[in-house]
Structure 1
């Protein structure tokens, strides 16, 4: 039963990534096609609940693979990720979005 639960969590994480990939690609494409660039790039720190190096690496990779965001660094203790966003209106909102999507899905996979 645990194997099925974990397999389902992996599928959900993959589907979430594909959804985020297409949505963010669409947003980046719209920004590129606009005659006037109206972005607010920024760097923010995001605390993570993930503990293992594997979990943190996976989150960092998923952030980097999603257009418009890039993981710049991870603190030595692994608790904070420094992320660059192409268009950042609110750092708290962006952190909340990452935590409620990728981070939660990763925890479902690794802690099932």
Structure 2
């Protein structure tokens, strides 16, 4: 039980960190005299299995400035995400997998 509370706390702190970092990135783009973004939509393959896990991931992505979950496939393995600035889809996917997805698994699979 204590481990799960710690995992929930870590997920909350991670989300707050990502919220601040992405907010700063969005504000930087807004105040620039010339917009230098490459918006786009990409398919993200997840290892999460339950409805709750996938829903939580989709919500965390949507609540983070600059990204929005548009759709979840019927098999719940693919999320279609719109990002304000996509430099490298693979790097963005690794970031989501290494942060939100990993933290969600720590909470739900402990």
Helix, strand or coil at the partner of 1:46: strand
TM-score (norm 1): 0.98
Aligned residues: 110
Deviation sequence 1:4-57 (CA, Å, 0-9, x none): 000000000000000000000000000000000000001000100000000000
RMSD of equivalent CA atoms: 0.3
* Matched residue, 1:67: 65
Helix, strand or coil at the partner of 2:13: helix
1:96-107 equivalent positions in 2, closer than 5 A: 96-107=94-105
1:69-108 equivalent positions in 2, closer than 5 A: 69-108=67-106
Instruction: Give the unaligned 5+ runs of structure 1.
Output: none
Residue 64 of structure 1: how far off its partner (Å) = 0.2
Q: Do residues 52 (structure 1) and 89 (structure 2) align?
A: no
TM-score (norm 2): 0.99
Residue 108 of structure 1: how far off its partner (Å) = 0.1
Q: Which runs of 4+ in 1 moved over 2 A?
A: none
Helix, strand or coil at the partner of 1:89: coil
Deviation sequence 1:52-79 (CA, Å, 0-9, x none): 0000000000000000000000000000
* Distance in 2 separating the partners of 1:92 and 1:85: 13
Instruction: Give the unaligned 5+ runs of structure 2.
Output: none
